[in-house]
Amino acid sequence: MKMRKTLKDRRPAGKKQRERYDESAHTNPFWYCLQLGFFAGLIWGATRWLLYLISFTKVLPGFLADPFFRQSFLKTFWGHLVGIGFFIVFSIIAAFLYKIALGRLSGPWPGLFYGLFWWLILFVMGGPLMGMFPHMNKIGYDTIFSECALYLVWGLFIGYTIAYEYTDEASREPMGAH
């Protein structure tokens, strides 16, 4: 039984390969930001929890959940897990916002500044105003430096990962171009 070749099958091999490459080379921004935010929240939320356990920071791991739960609950193990969960959700939202606002920028610096921006919003403005934790002059230098360093690395993780995925032109070139 002979099969008729379709128009797509009659194209030259190079054109078929290029079409296949074009279809597979594009990253879905929604799923990419969702995965990136999840893992950023999981990794750096667990790191925040560890910093809290070894007393590098006095801010509860669940401080983002403070408006929804009592502090007595957030000081328990389950409260810490809820806090990591809230940090994951926060990181997913932050990854989407980074992609929308700064996604075209390349290099590590935009991510570092993004992390610093969130640290300033949460620790200098938002947290003390909402009563999540005391003002900066009362939480201690260990907490200030630990949290700032963590948010810098967290922002770098999100920013540089997005920058690498969406501005790395060498990975988008055809196979034989190098």
The whole domain housing 108 covers 29-167
The structural domain count of the chain equals 1
DSSP 126-153: IHHHHTSS--HHHH-HHHHHHHHHHHHH
In a domain? residue 172? no
Which amino acid appears at position 31 of this protein?
W
In tens, the pLDDT along 118-168 reads 999 999 998 888 888 888 889 999 999 999 999 999 999 999 999 998 776
In a domain, 72, yes or no: yes
Residue 16 domain-assigned (yes or no): no
pTM of the model: 0.80
Reply yes or no on whether the pLDDT at 17 is more than 90. no
Geometric angle at alpha carbon 128, from 127 and 131, rounded to 5°: 85
DSSP state of 69: S
SS3 content of the chain, % helix, strand, coil (to 5): 70, 0, 30
**79-116 tens-digit pLDDT:** 999 999 999 999 999 999 999 999 889 989 999 999 99
2, part of any domain: no
Residue 20 lies inside a defined structural domain of this protein: no
For residue 176, tell me if it sits in a domain. no
